[in-house]
Amino acid sequence: MGNSIIQIIMQSCIFFPLVSAVSLSFNILKIPDLTVEGSFVIGAAVFARLLTENYDPFVGMAAACMAGALAGTMTSFMHRCNVAPLISGVLAIFILSSATLIVMGRPNISILGKDTIITIFQGFMPLQEKASKTLFFIIVAATTMTFLSVMMSSRIGLFLRAFGDNKQFLLRLGKDAEMYRIIGLVISNALAAMCGALTAQVNGYADSAMGLGVGLIGIGTVIIGNQLYGAAFGDEKKPHHVMLMFCFAGVVIYFTAMNFFIKLQLNPIYLKMIMGVTLASFLMTAKPEKHMEGAL
């Protein structure tokens, strides 16, 4: 029981940067951005490729985040050219799937035996491997939450909220609304790429198909978090870190359900179908966003 709880916490913390990315685009910018799925994979691919070329893992992580940021910039450009958000996300995934294969040179890359950020951290911690790894990802999740909370408390955060809620407010202030779309999507996709790089380190490899469905899972878990938030506070506005905590609760619920089905020895063929139906039920009962940018 204790091992299962630790496993769920670690999985949730690993996935939290991507969920934070989805929350930024979905809750703040009011954009249903699926580009994070492609950014997740390109982040893993860039990190793994640089590690096999004997680059420092911190350089690899920085490069992975930059790759995600570029993906966000590309999607922003498509939005600016009046391509609908969902179509832009699908096109970005399509483009990034080819970019991933170009970066890796093959469908997957093993990084087993290579020094990673996780192994470097473990070298400094006098703890067992599982405990130090769990602590590392708790620190990652806490750092991500702190960064986004501080950013959303700043003027940039105010303008990002204004972009999602009332673009006319930005225009009256003489601000370029599209610039804040770019900033928001750059940050969200950089976080998604970071999540991909972290996942590659945990798995010991990067694979061109490892991101299949993570964008929808991210949106699903954010909506679970939104519903929990709504049940607790209704329409009352709270600081951004409160929303992120509820999004984290959504991730925990998702991985708890997944671990429950695995414990039941459910055939893996049916696992994604059942999880998809579960997420769909949350999506169908979710309160529609009044100002969400049109999907099509």
pLDDT digits 0-9 by tens, 155-171? 999 999 989 888 888 88
Helix (H) or strand (E) holding 205: strand 205-207
Position 238 confidence tier, pLDDT thresholds 50, 70, 90? confident
| Helix ranges restricted to H, the chain | 2-23, 35-52, 57-80, 85-104, 117-124, 129-152, 155-165, 167-172, 177-203, 214-233, 240-263, 268-285
pLDDT in tens, 14-24: 999 999 999 99
* Residue 207: predicted pLDDT: 94
Above 90 in pLDDT, residue 35?
A: yes
* Residue 290: predicted pLDDT: 52
Above 60 in pLDDT, residue 54?
A: yes
The β-bridge partners of 110 are 205
Above 60 in pLDDT, residue 138?
A: yes
* Residue 288: predicted pLDDT: 62
* Residue 274: predicted pLDDT: 81
pLDDT in tens, 185-196: 999 999 999 999
The β-bridge partners of 206 are 109
Above 70 in pLDDT, residue 291?
A: no
**254 or 67, higher pLDDT:** 67
* Residue 167: predicted pLDDT: 83
* Residue 295: predicted pLDDT: 53
The mean pLDDT of the chain is: 89
C-alpha 276 chain-centroid distance:
18
Query: At the topology level of CATH, where does 2-285 sit?
Result: ABC transporter involved in vitamin B12 uptake, BtuC (1.10.3470)
* Residue 245: predicted pLDDT: 93
Q: Which of 226-235, 256-265, 271-280 has the lowest mean pLDDT?
A: 271-280
Kindly report whether the global pTM for this prediction surpasses the value 0.85. Answer: yes
Instruction: Kindly report the backbone phi and psi dihedral angles of residue 117, in degrees, each rounded to the nearest multiple of 5, phi listed first.
Output: -60, -35
pLDDT in tens, 93-116: 999 999 999 999 999 999 998 999
Position 198 confidence tier, pLDDT thresholds 50, 70, 90? very high
- What does the block give as tokens for 241? 């870190």
* Residue 23: predicted pLDDT: 93
The b-or-e profile of 29-60 (16+ CB within 10 A means b, else e) is bbbbbbbbbbbbbbbbbbbbbbbbeeeebeeb
Quote the crossing angle between the two packed helices 129-152 and 240-263, to the nearest 10°: 150
* Residue 271: predicted pLDDT: 76
**Which amino acid is located at 221 in the chain?**
T
Above 80 in pLDDT, residue 283?
A: no
Domain spans in the chain, listed from the N-terminal domain onward: 2-285
Above 80 in pLDDT, residue 292?
A: no
Position 289 confidence tier, pLDDT thresholds 50, 70, 90? low
* Residue 129: predicted pLDDT: 78
Give the CA count within 13 Å in the CB-facing half-sphere of 215.
Answer: 22
* Residue 144: predicted pLDDT: 95
Task: Tell me the range of 51-65, 114-128, 266-280 where mean pLDDT is highest.
Answer: 51-65
* Residue 173: predicted pLDDT: 80
Angle (CA) 142-246-164 rounded to 5° is 95
The β-bridge partners of 108 are 207
Above 90 in pLDDT, residue 147?
A: yes
Measure the CA–CA gap between 84 and 296, rounded to whole angstroms.
5
* Residue 71: predicted pLDDT: 96
Above 80 in pLDDT, residue 282?
A: no
